[in-house]
A and B are shown apart, each in its own frame.
Chain A
Amino acid sequence: MKTSSMTARTLDAFARMSIGRAFASGIGMVAGGFLVLLVLVAIFAPWIAPFDYAAQNLMNANAPPGWPHLLGTDEFGRDVLSRVIFGARTSLSVSATAIAISMAAGMTLGAAAGYFGGFFERAVMTVVDLTWSFPDILIALIFVAIIGPGLTSTTFAIAIAYLAQFTRLTRAQIVRLKRETFIEATINLGAKPSHILLRHLMPNAIAPVIVVGMLAIGDGIVLEATLGFFGLGAQPPTPSWGAMMSSGTAQLFLSPWVIIFPGVAVAVTVIAVNLFGDELIRALDIRDRLRGS
């Protein structure tokens, strides 16, 4: 209980000082504002989308952008705009969930490796370095191939693909902090390892990890879209940005808008995530700590 309220307080302070400052710059405001808007759109999709995302109308298939289908229709006559809006739900939630899992697991592994050292650290870091040098799409592909296509396996595949990143970063922070005088003092005062780790090391190590997590959500969206494009992610009729483009490939020459608009959605979102992440890094002044890992 104590540690969770502790973490909550740290996070709260973190949020107040840095998010506010990240919003303060022009770019940060535009990018951050867009992301807030996107999350709202995803949450309120059923009220915002002009049409039912699954409603087919074969008489009006492959209609170009116009009225009433602002972004056109796909090969089943479904409204592309509505599918992009509902796709935001899938893409954002899958990526955010995956990164949250990845962050939690990576922080635990990295903190334990950095704090306890020894054989455990070497074992963890060997595996981490192995996966680190592999392209994330390969790791995700193999994982999805093992447990089968679908949104759940996509989520875990993304989580595993970025696990190495969080483990490395957390370990680097912990190793750096362990050398600080105040930690030495706490150890000499007789504090228990769990106390040192949770109350002194983690709160100080958490900021860069959260920022990298924020940036990784963007990468996760791209990875989700790629897996969806291979037909390994969301299954029909669930709309996701990647899956939309996958079914659109067959109609590339007939109705390019089915591919263009979900791609624009991915690109704009990921760019916004990156710009906002950069502002966060600047606001928190942690560029050097990120480079060290």
Chain B
Amino acid sequence: MILRYTAQRLLMLIPVSFSISVVIFMIVYLLPGDPIDNLLRVGSSPEDRAELVAQYGLDRSLVVQYFVWIGNMFQGEFGQAIVLRRPVADLIAQNLPYSLTLGGLAFLFSSTVGMALGTLSAMVRNPVLDRFVRGFILLGSTVPGFWLALLLILFFSVNLGWFPVSGARGWESLVLPVLTIGFGGVALVARVTRVALLDVQREDFVTLLHAKGLSSGAILFRHLMPHALLPVVTILALRIGWILGGAVTVEFVFGRPGLGSLLIRALGQRDYPVVQACLLMLALAVMLGTLIGDVAQAAMDPRIREKKS
């Protein structure tokens, strides 16, 4: 059942990835500036230029360029970075681990701390704690990420000297970036967990469980959590895309290598193949996140798989 649902969702991804790939291909084609200009030496002739254009296949029609490009993508052949003059696949392979580590840790951090905070504020009816958590949620979802990053650098790196200001050496350099990206996520997950728990608590069956004399702990973990998890998993899956978006800014501020800083640099240098590959990777991650979220939802709630299949 769940396998069939997963297969259906995977099939649905085909037209979606096709449209995404066309959009990415087109967007990059619309970028102003010409990478060939960056490659030409001063004083080179129009013939030199035409040769370079032909070498990179930029003289063929758009449709041909698209199919050549997408065909290469399927073979894991991302082409040659025009400005950096290295295989794009190498660049991706070099930068991806940094982004994955950062994103994975930020994801872990925001899901665990967020759920704990959300549960705490929903369960403990303490107005002071509740206000604190709600204030934190508000702050986390409104403060711009790069500003938070700068403040953290200012406080922890400059004033206290605990963590390095920038770079990616050792675990110390991961602490502040993970905190920065995770902060917004913690707030979001906490809010969703809180609302979901409060919603379920109002149900009649919970009153019955209390009346039966079940302890609050047992009610929470065995009966409330399974219900509350549904929206939390959904938001966490969607969060994957947002973590990647946050990583773009945070990698930039902290001067870390990664897909985000690679993308920003390539955008500045008009390095088409790199921009395309980075965007495709990010899009792929976002789609995978949505897929995982949908499948997890269906696994937890039979009503969803019956409705959609």
CB distance from A218 to the nearest CB of B (A): 7
Question: Chain B 67-87 against A: per-residue CB contact (8 Å), 1 yes, 0 no?
Answer: 000000000000000000000
Chain A residues whose C-beta falls within 8 Å of the C-beta of B248 in the assembled complex: 135, 137-138, 141
In chain B, positions 121-149 with a C-beta closer than 8 Å to chain A are: 138-139, 141-147
CB distance from B17 to the nearest CB of A (A): 10
Q: Cβ of A135 and Cβ of B267 under 8 Å apart?
A: no
A46 CB-CB contact with B under 8 Å: no
Q: Cβ of A226 and Cβ of B150 under 8 Å apart?
A: no
Chain A residues whose C-beta falls within 8 Å of the C-beta of B108 in the assembled complex: none
CA distance A111 to B31 in the complex (A): 32
Residue of B nearest to A142 (CB): B27
CA distance A148 to B32 in the complex (A): 8
Q: Cβ of B249 and Cβ of A249 under 8 Å apart?
A: no
Q: Cβ of B245 and Cβ of A135 under 8 Å apart?
A: yes
A82 CB-CB contact with B under 8 Å: no
Q: Cβ of B158 and Cβ of A126 under 8 Å apart?
A: no
Other-chain contact of A136, B245, B287, B290 (Cβ < 8 Å): B245
Given A130-B16, A274-B138, A274-B141: A249 and B264 within 8 A (CB)? no
Q: Looking at the complex, which of A9-17, A191-199, A253-261 is the stretch in contact with chain B?
A: A253-261
Chain B residues whose C-beta falls within 8 Å of the C-beta of A133 in the assembled complex: 238, 241, 286-287, 289-290
Residues of B contacting A: mostly: helix
Interface residues of B (CB under 8 A from A): 15-16, 19-20, 23, 27, 30-32, 138-139, 141-147, 150-151, 153-154, 158, 238, 241-242, 244-246, 248-249, 252-253, 263-264, 267, 279, 282-283, 286-287, 289-290
What are 28 sample pairs from A and B whose C-beta atoms fall under 8 A apart?
A126-B15, A126-B16, A130-B20, A133-B238, A133-B241, A133-B286, A133-B287, A133-B289, A135-B248, A138-B279, A141-B263, A142-B27, A142-B267, A145-B267, A146-B31, A222-B144, A229-B146, A245-B147, A245-B150, A252-B150, A256-B154, A259-B154, A263-B151, A266-B143, A267-B139, A267-B147, A270-B142, A271-B139
Interface residues of A (CB under 8 A from B): 126-127, 130, 133-138, 141-142, 145-148, 218, 222, 225-226, 229-230, 245, 249, 252-253, 256, 259-260, 263, 266-267, 270-271, 274-275
